[in-house]
Chains A and B, each alone.
Chain A
Amino acid sequence: AQSVTQLDSQVPVFEEAPVELRCNYSSSVSVYLFWYVQYPNQGLQLLLKYLSGSTLVKGINGFEAEFNKSQTSFHLRKPSVHISDTAEYFCAVTKIQGAQKLVFGQGTRLTINP
């Protein structure tokens, strides 16, 4: 079975500061990795995904994530955040072979302070 751990439940940062949201996963098989964002009172929106190839993945809104197989991590980063980035961020994995089930982490609430 797969599991996802988001190491920080809340991350407060100042506007224009860099941010890193941490995600570690556990799986005995190869997986695809995802970051979703949920703005207040909205559904989840795909931010970026890692399927294969380059371990540095760029997504929407200036976010990027790096897949590290040896550390089983997929941390999300942004060099300079904006107030509009205030949201909850979810890391998720799914097996490459077999069932399509996404396994989500508990989420990290990113709060941007002016």
Chain B
Amino acid sequence: DAGVIQSPRHEVTEMGQEVTLRCKPISGHDYLFWYRQTMMRGLELLIYFNNNVPIDDSGMPEDRFSAKMPNASFSTLKIQPSEPRDSAVYFCASSFRDREGDTQYFGPGTRLTVL
């Protein structure tokens, strides 16, 4: 299995621009998570989906952030407009709820820099 795939790996943009981060979960997994990691705040859960349906978006910082999961193999996290304080590493993770517990498998992350 290729694992969780994220693109792009690095993104540099200017303040005010729209940014779209992409994620392909592991095939067969029914949960998908978006996290943000910064030095100041550590790892924060932004939103998660179950069977393509958003379950909890309480971690989404503000209306500038939106996430979609149009099908079981693809999700996007969009920031519009972007601001310098959005600079962080964004991780996508997926899992499958079974007797082995809720192990989440993480992608390599997208390092976002907003100038």
Binding site for B on A (CB under 8 A): 32, 34, 36, 42-46, 49, 51, 90, 94, 99-102, 104, 106-107
Question: Interface of B with A (CB < 8 Å)?
Answer: 4, 31, 33, 42-43, 45, 48, 50, 55-56, 91, 93, 95, 97, 100-109
> Given contacts A44-B93, A101-B48, A102-B102, could you give 5 more A-B pairs where the C-beta distance is less than 8 Å?
A44-B91, A45-B106, A49-B101, A94-B102, A104-B42
Q: Is the interface of B mostly helix, strand, loop or mixed?
A: strand
> Does A100 contact B95, Cβ atoms closer than 8 Å?
yes
Query: Nearest residue in A to B59 (C-beta to C-beta)?
Result: A101
Q: How far is the CA of A31 from the CA of B93 in the complex (A)?
A: 20
Task: Determine the chain B residues whose CB is within 8 A of the CB of A45 once the complex forms.
Answer: 106
Docked pose: A107 CA to B55 CA in angstroms: 26
Task: Please tell me if the beta carbons of A100 and B91 are within 8 angstroms of each other in the complex.
Answer: no
Contact B95 A43, beta carbon cutoff 8 Å: no
Which residue of chain B has the shortest Cβ distance to A45 in the bound complex? Answer: B106
Q: Is the CB of B48 within 8 A of A43?
A: no
A44 / chain B contacts, CB cutoff of 8 Å = 91, 93, 106
Kindly state the separation between the CA atoms of A100 and B31 in the bound complex, as whole angstroms.
8
* Bound Cα distance A76, B91 (Å): 24
User: What is the CB-to-nearest-CB distance from A5 to chain B, in angstroms, rounded to a whole number?
Assistant: 12
A100 and B97 within 8 A (CB):
yes
**A42 interface neighbour in B43, B48, B100, B108, Cβ under 8 Å:** B108
A100 to B98, CA, bound (A): 11
The residue from B91, B105, B107 contacting A46, defined by CB atoms under 8 A apart: B105
